[in-house]
Every structure is written in structure tokens, then in C-alpha cells.
Structure 1
Amino acid sequence: MKNRRWNRATGVAVCLLLAFALSGCASMSESQCRQADWSARGLADGREGRSAQRLDDHVEACAKIGVAPDRSAWDKGWEQGIRSYCTASSGWREGLRNQTYWGGCRGQAGEDAFMNHYQLGQQLYSLQQQLQRNDGELQRLEQVLRTVKTDEERANVRAQMRRLDIDQLRLRALITGMHLAAPR
């Protein structure tokens, strides 16, 4: 009996996951296709850093219901949006948030500035993540220090904590220096 319930529950879960996965493939819903302001859609796609091929996703999604995007209007909106996206400050912001780069700046005027600052932002994001991991490890070691029984164990834990403290100082210095590279 338990096996049947588990199998039914598993079957339902698999069906729900498949339905969710299939529904998530379309770039736009049926109602979005029918009501689209293609210039505004292009502007939004550009501001998100989507590549020009994003329009192909919309064509595919909307073709299922017989709607054809206005390519000219979408292109005009996208051009405006991508210009505002492909900047040093946008690259910095996207990198700092560890956002996916969709390739929208390829071949655009601001590509180099965007990519340089995107990579710097990602490096800073990684340093901040390491700082947090180290903080967590220091807290764990503080707990361990309270429970160790021998002087040798205490000395070992304290040595690990000193190494982490030194690494934290190094990371903080790097982070401070990286903030100086932020676009103004």
C-alpha cells in the first residue's frame, strides 16, 4: 500500500514538473502575445540585456496562436533598451548581483566597458561570498572551541581561526580596492 501511494505521488510530481517545464519554455504567454506593444517589449528585452535573437523566441511563442510580432517596432525598442544596458555601470551592477549575461552587448558600442565592469563586479561578488563563507566558518570554529577538551585541540582551532582572520583582512582590503574600480 505504501509503495502504491509513493508511486502515485511520484507520478503526480513528475507530471507537475513536466507541465511546469513545458509551460516555462515560452518567452510570452498567449495574452501577452495578443496584447503586446512590440516597441515596449523590445525596450524591456534590451534593458534586460537580451540579445537580438530574443525576438525569435517571441516569434516562436506567438506563432502558436497566430500572432506575428511587429519586428520593426521591436527592433526600435530593443535598440534603445540595449544602449541603456551596455554601459559600465550596468555591467558593474549585473556582475555584483551575479546576474546571467545574455550576450546582448555583443557588437554594441558599449560592449567593452560593459564586459570589463561586469567581470569586475563578478569578481567582487565572489570575494564577498568568500567573506561570508569565512564568517560562517569562524562562527563554527567558535562553537568548536567551546567544546574541545585538550590544549592541543584548542591550539589547533585557534590557529585555524587566526588563518581565517588574516584571510578576512585580505578579503576586506581587496573588496575596498575593488569598490574604487566602480564606475562613477
Structure 2
Amino acid sequence: MRISHWVVLLTAGAVLSGCATLSEDECLTADWYGIGYADAAAGKASSQVASHRKACSKHGVSLDIDDYLSGYDEGLYRFCTRSVGYSKGLDGYDYTGICPSHLENNFMDGYILGSEIYDASREVRSLSSQLSNQDNKINELEDNIAAKTTLMLSDQVDVAQRYELNTEMENMRDEIIELERSNERLHYQIDDLNALISELELDYRYGEEL
């Protein structure tokens, strides 16, 4: 049994939409080969069939396991490719070993590269957020120093208060220096990670050309 290209796409759309179970109409008109194909093409484990079986049993419909698994096996050929592995790695997909041994190496070649880029990109976002927070802290400290300088030069404070304000400003200047040093290290880390990402992207493109 085989299905048309349009049936595959329509079934895949239904499965990928996030439905945990099938409706009564879907069970009654189910193309189990197509559903199996779509599940595999979406990277879902074959155990997904259990939720389909449970959903349809409520409506008195039996699942055709042979058709489902036949479609599932065929769908793995669409999923277990280098390009899909790379795309899934970029998305942070948690691979559970669904590809058969004769397809897995090709899938993993792309998946590992994509996953490394995903991890490096996530680290870049984390470091960039830290950098932004520290920039904001530096601006806040500089504003405080300016305000305290204005206050210290006014007639509203005495000598002792001026001394106290000066000490506070010195501490804030020291904190700014430490933050600026930290920011410099963060910039280096971000640059290194971006260089790694570019290298990994080139590795993938080079592999595609082979």
C-alpha cells in the first residue's frame, strides 16, 4: 500500500500540529500508512502508535499496525538524512535513536554539527545577555557617580559627608573597572563562539558538496 504525495503532506500537517490524539473522524478515515510515515518524518518514536491506538479505541476503531509500521519505516528514509539531522540539531531536537543503523551515520553527521551550533548559539545568547546587564550596571554606576559629584560640590553637605561621598564614588569606580574587564572577557568569548559557529557551518556546507 502506498499513498499520494498530497495525502502524506496533509497527514503530516495534522500530526505536526501538536495533536496528542486523533479525532473520531480521523480514526474512521485513518490512513495508517500515511500516519506512520508522517510520524517518522517528524522524528517521532514508533511508540507514538500507542497514543493513536488509545485514541481510536475510544471510537471503536482498530489500528492497522502493519500499515502503520510500513509507513513508519518508509518515513524514516525521509527523516534520517544529513540535512534533516542538521536542521533538527539546530532546533535543539533530542534525538532518541530512531534511525536504523544503515541510516543513522548519515543522520548523525548532520545532527552533531547542528547540535554543536545550537549549543554555541545558546551560549552566545547567554553571554550577550550578561554583557547587556553589565553594560546597564556600568551606566547606572556612572549616573550615580555624576549625581554624587553634583551633591558633593553643593552647599548641602559638610566635610564629613563629602569624604563619605568620595569614598562611595571610588568604590563605584572600582566596580566599573571590574565590570569593564569582565565585559572584555565576554567579548572575547562571544567572538570565539561566533568563529566556532562559522567553522561548523562551513563544515556542514563542505560536507554537502562532497
TM range (shorter): 0.7 to 0.9
RMSD of aligned alpha carbons = 2.1
Structure 2 residue corresponding to 1:34, chosen from 25, 28, 31: 28
Could you tell me whether the CA contact under 8 Å between 1:49 and 1:104 is conserved in 2?
yes
Q: What residue number does 1:86 align with?
A: 80
Q: What residue number does 1:64 align with?
A: 58
CA distance in 1, matches of 2:105, 2:179: 46
**Which AA in structure 1 matches 2:83?**
S
| Deviation of 1:48 (Å) | 1.0
Secondary structure, aligned partner of 1:40: helix
1:1-184 to structure 2, matched below 5 A, reads: 26-105=20-99, 107-148=100-141, 149=145, 150-182=172-204, 183-184=207-208
Q: What residue number does 1:12 align with?
A: none
**Which AA in structure 2 matches 1:95?**
G
Could you tell me whether the CA contact under 8 Å between 1:88 and 1:110 is conserved in 2?
no
Secondary structure, aligned partner of 1:28: coil
**Which AA in structure 1 matches 2:31?**
D
Greater relative CO (CA pairs within 8 A, separation 6+): 1
The runs of 4+ residues in structure 1 deviating greater than 6 Å are none
TM-score (norm 1): 0.77
Calculate percent identity across the aligned residue pairs: 29
CA distance in 2, matches of 1:137, 1:39: 49
| Deviation of 1:165 (Å) | 0.6
| Deviation of 1:146 (Å) | 1.3
Which sections of structure 1, spanning at least 5 residues, go unmatched?
A: 1-23
Q: Which has the larger radius of gyration?
A: 2
- 1:90/1:31 CA distance change after superposition, 3 Å: same
TM-score (norm 2): 0.68
Could you tell me whether the CA contact under 8 Å between 1:45 and 1:81 is conserved in 2?
yes
Which sections of structure 2, spanning at least 5 residues, go unmatched?
A: 1-17, 146-171
Could you tell me whether the CA contact under 8 Å between 1:28 and 1:58 is conserved in 2?
yes
**Which AA in structure 2 matches 1:145?**
I
| Deviation of 1:25 (Å) | 9.4
CA distance in 2, matches of 1:169, 1:26: 42
CA distance in 2, matches of 1:71, 1:151: 71
CA distance in 2, matches of 1:37, 1:72: 12
Secondary structure, aligned partner of 2:127: helix
- 1:125/1:80 CA distance change after superposition, 3 Å: same
